[in-house]
Every structure is written in structure tokens, then in C-alpha cells.
Amino acid sequence: MNDVIALTKTLINKKSITPDDAGCQILFKELLADIGFTNETMVFEDTTNLWSRKGTKQPVFCFAGHTDVVPTGPIDKWQSPPFEATEKDGFIFGRGAADMKASLAAMMVATRRFVEDYPAHKGSIAFLITSDEEGPFINGTTRVIDTLEERKEKIDYCIVGEPSSTNLTGDVIKNGRRGSLTGTLTVHGIQGHVAYPHLIKNPIHLVAPAISELAETVWDNGNAYFPATSMQISNIHAGTGATNVVPGSIEIVFNFRYSTEVTAEQLQQGVVDILDKHQLHYTIGWIKNGLPFITAEGSLIAASQEAIAETLGIDTTLSTAGGTSDGRFIAPTGAQVIELGPENNTIHKINECVNIENVKSLEKVYYAILVKLLS
């Protein structure tokens, strides 16, 4: 059995639902120690993280990823047990197969092969692994990066193993991500009987024009790397359950996915200006989920594109589409950061799976990138 496939299966078999690492990092510590890495476990609250490094010089090439997975959903809907890696029709099925245990396995096997082939390689190689990516993301990569920054330990190149590809491994590289800003708005009115409108203030009616304006506002026009900023309402809650009572308040949850053309502070002020324009009585809370980042074309992107073309015979597309990743915590340190992993069409779904041949291809691509940057 191919080493990368065996390791992928071993990782899938570990029930590592956020924030439980379930022993994945212990396995990685053993494998990395065997090829000369120094391991450092960082535990923050309920989250276990691993920082492992071989070498003391720059540049530092880092593989970053997460061992935690999302819950399975209804187990009876799966064609095979989600934490028993199962081969069928050229795929490996199991929770975390694509997001992102296959990537972790490919990183490990590629690194071992590279260290064996190039024992006197340049710079350093590191692994940053967390079990907090799919959950609150407050005690994982961001805390590790804070620790590294405090001791002035810098990452130069970073590949995050998120499933970036669309139809074939390597066809898409994510070289940036939009920022994410969540707002929770509560508009206050006066509760009362629907038959006595002169005694009530209906917050649903009051906020409706503001909602319309927020939805129609053009926040920016994007740029060469990012589409225009988008504001979407994800939840609205109001009412007492009775049909003859006007509620005293309405809660609206909304999210901005924004480009580098605007800041979180500008978006917050824009929302407040619209709410004030409509003379609403409101309270609002904000969560800054992540800043936008972009890695312009440079040595990491060039090496990755060349490795994909030479190894797989395909051209790759740069993209910033999709959700957020832990790359948003690493890029602000000055590192060149990309996301490169398998296809993302089954992630978080029932019967999540990954193509076996594409996992083998991914390991070869990672190896080739290491050769180009550190040999």
C-alpha cells in the first residue's frame, strides 16, 4: 500500500471532532521526530496544537493544517462508517478525507521523502497543526502564531492544506481569502397588541427600510484579486409566537465577506450610518472573524505553479473565492501563504471522500515544491 494512502486512512480512523485531536498529533510527532524534527506541543484551553521544526535558518517553509473535523451528521446516511476509512471505486470515504487528512498525509510523506533525498537542504521545514480550525478558531493557529511572533520566529513560505481544488487536484490555488465580519443587530420597539397600533412600535416595520438599504449598498467594486464585498443576512428572529402580539425587538445576524478595498472599521461605520439615518433605536455587536489577505505572485506561487505543471501536466488558476481558512492568521506576519489541497466538492458532506490517485499526486506536488524552494 502506498505510504500516503496508508497514512490518510490511519488519520481518518481517528475520531477527531473539534477540538479533540484524538491522537493525530501524537502520531505526527513520532513521524516527524524520526526524520529530525523538534516537536513543541502548545495547549491553549481545550485545544492541542503542534509546532514542529527541522533546522534553525531562514527561509522557513511551513506546512499548516488541522486534524479536527466537523461532526458526521446522521451516521445512518453514510454508505460506510465515517471513522472507518473505506476504499470504493477509487476513492477513500470517511469524515475528514478531503478536509483535510489527505493533505496532512501528503505533507508528511512528501517531507520525509525530501529530507531523505536532500539531507543538506537549505533553510528550515516546519509543521503547524491545530485541532481548532473547524470550531471557534480562537485557541488554535492564531494562538500559535502569537507565540511565534512573541519570540520573533518567522515563517517565510506556508502551504495550508485546505481542499482548494475544483475538478482535479492542483487546478486551483487559493492565494488569498476575503475578510469576514459578522454583525448581530437588535432593533428595539414597543411590544403590544396588534389591534392597538398607536400604542406600539413595531421593530420589524421600523428596520425594514434599513435592511433594504443595507442589501442594496455597493460597499466596493473589488479589485484584480477579489470580487466586490458582499453583505448577506443569515438570520432574523422576532415575535413571541402569538399572532396578535407585536414583538418588542428584532434580532438580525448578518455577515460581510469583504475585499482589501475596504476595512472592517469602514464597514462597521457604514452600517451605523444607515441605521442612524433611519432613526432606529438599536444595539449592535461585532465579531471580526478574519482579515482579508492576498499573496501576490512571487517565489511560492511560481514554485507551486511550476510543480503542478511539471508533475501533473496542468495549469493552475489563482483564486480568492470561498470561505476563510487559518491562512488569515499566518499571512499578516509577512509570510507568503497559499492553500493547496484536493478537490472540495464533498467536504463537510455525508460520504465525504477523496480520490486515491489525486492524493498520490498531491504528495508529488508538495515534494516538488520543497525541491524548488529548499534544495
- Residue 1 pLDDT exceeds 70: no
Q: What is the CATH number of the domain that holds 80?
A: 3.40.630.10
- What is the average pLDDT across 132-152? 94
pLDDT digits (tens, 9 = 90+) for 144-198: 999 999 999 999 999 999 999 999 999 999 999 999 999 999 999 999 999 999 9
Report whether 348 belongs to an annotated binding site.
yes
Q: Enumerate the β-bridge partners of residue 290.
A: 180
Q: What is the mean pLDDT of residues 333-339?
A: 96
Same domain for 160 and 188, yes or no, is no
pLDDT band for 35, please (50, 70, 90 cuts). Answer: very high
Report the alpha-carbon distance of residue 169 to residue 164 in Å, rounded. 8
- Mean pLDDT value across the chain: 96
Asked if residue 251 belongs to a known ligand binding site, the reply is: no
Q: What is the pLDDT of residue 290?
A: 86
Last residue of a domain, one of 290, 307, 334: 290
Of 95-104, 129-138, 273-282, 335-344, the one with minimum mean pLDDT is 129-138
What is the predicted pLDDT for the residue at 297?
84
- Last residue of a domain, which of 239, 264, 290? 290
Q: What is the mean pLDDT of residues 228-239?
A: 96
Q: Residue 122's CB: how many other CB atoms inside 10 A?
A: 13
* Four-CA torsion 240, 242, 246, 250, nearest 10 degrees: 30
Q: How many domains would you assign to the chain?
A: 2
Would the annotation count 134 as a binding residue? yes
Place of cell 517565489: 299
Could you report the per-residue pLDDT of 71-128, keeping only the tens digit for each?
A: 999 999 999 999 999 999 999 999 999 999 999 999 999 999 999 999 999 999 999 9
Co-location of 43 and 123 in the same domain = yes
Q: What pLDDT, on the 0 to 100 scale, is given for residue 295?
A: 94
Give residue-wise pLDDT tens across range 194-216: 999 999 999 999 999 999 999 99
Residue numbers of the domain that contains 216: 179-290
Catalytic residues: 68, 133
275, 215: one domain:
yes
Burial of 139 (0-12, 13-18, 19+ CB in 10 A): buried
- Determine if residue 132 is labeled as part of a ligand binding site: no
Q: What is the pLDDT of residues 304-324, one digit of tens each?
A: 999 999 999 999 999 998 888
